[in-house]
Amino acid sequence: MPKPSLIPDFAYHPPDVPLSILYEDTAILVLDKPAGLLTVPGKLENRQDCLIARLQAARWDALTVHRLDCDTSGVIIFARTRQAQGFLGQEFEQRRAEKTYVARVQGVIADDSGIIDLPIGSDWDYRPRQKVTPEGRPAVTNWQVIDRSGTETRVRLTPRTGRSHQLRVHMLALGHPILGDQIYAPETLRDHNRLLLHAETLSLHHPVTKTRVSFTVPAPF
């Protein structure tokens, strides 16, 4: 794939939408994050509006566990106690948490499924871009075709590791960048109102009951 043109300036215009709480109890909060909203505050002053800040205004005890990219929507979990935060952090670190995503990508993928096993590291010349590089950290993504149209493919992506921008970098490496990606897609494929990547399901052990729980939000595209 040709390398995308320079990354456009990041103009942050977070959506003015109400919180979408999917589930809550005394230990966890599960939300449907909208696309275009940071999970945690950015470094610059005009990027303080974010999901955790909005959530803490309504649930003061909410604590961050993991993140979704600003332009990615979908299922995200927060803790309500330090003990729950530590437990859930280990679920992700030890890869006991399972996530699936839905994406629309450029082009028609011929095979029905596959595995991308390519290491990912920082592209220091084009921060915050990441890239496939032998010096990178191991990264593995399973993919499965959901359906195809004349010019694009809808896929379900299951990351087996948690590298920054992993799904976006891996699909670019496969030759099928995610549509609407302002960082990795060629400029001709950026003309969408959002990144067409959505965190569809999250499954992990509950920090109190220790039973496995799952949460699902269908993709809005």
CATH of the domain at 162: 3.30.2350.10
pLDDT of residue 11: 83
Let me know if residue 85 belongs to a domain: yes
Task: Write down the pLDDT at residue 48.
Answer: 93
Is this model's pTM higher than 0.75 or not?
Answer: yes
Q: Evaluate whether residue 14 is within a structural domain.
A: no
Q: Are 170 and 139 in contact (CB under 8 A)?
A: yes
**H/E element holding 171?**
helix 166-174
Q: pLDDT for 183-209, tens place per residue?
A: 998 887 777 889 999 999 999 999 999
Q: Are 39 and 63 in contact (CB under 8 A)?
A: no
Structural domain of 40: 21-216
15 in a structural domain: no
Two tokens, residue 60? 């003061």
In a domain, 11, yes or no: no
The answer to whether position 153 is within a domain reads yes
pLDDT tens across the length of the chain (221 residues): 445 445 555 689 999 999 999 999 999 999 999 999 999 998 877 889 999 999 999 999 999 999 999 999 999 999 999 999 999 999 999 999 999 999 999 999 999 999 999 999 999 988 889 999 999 999 999 999 999 998 999 999 999 999 999 999 999 999 999 999 999 988 877 778 899 999 999 999 999 999 999 999 999 99
Structural tokens at position 19 = 């919180």
Contacts of 25 (CB under 8 A, 6+ apart): 208
Q: Is 69 one of the catalytic residues?
A: yes
- Give the β-pairing of 140-148 and 152-159: antiparallel
The total of structural domains in the chain comes to: 1
In the set 69, 71, 123, 181, the catalytic residue is 69
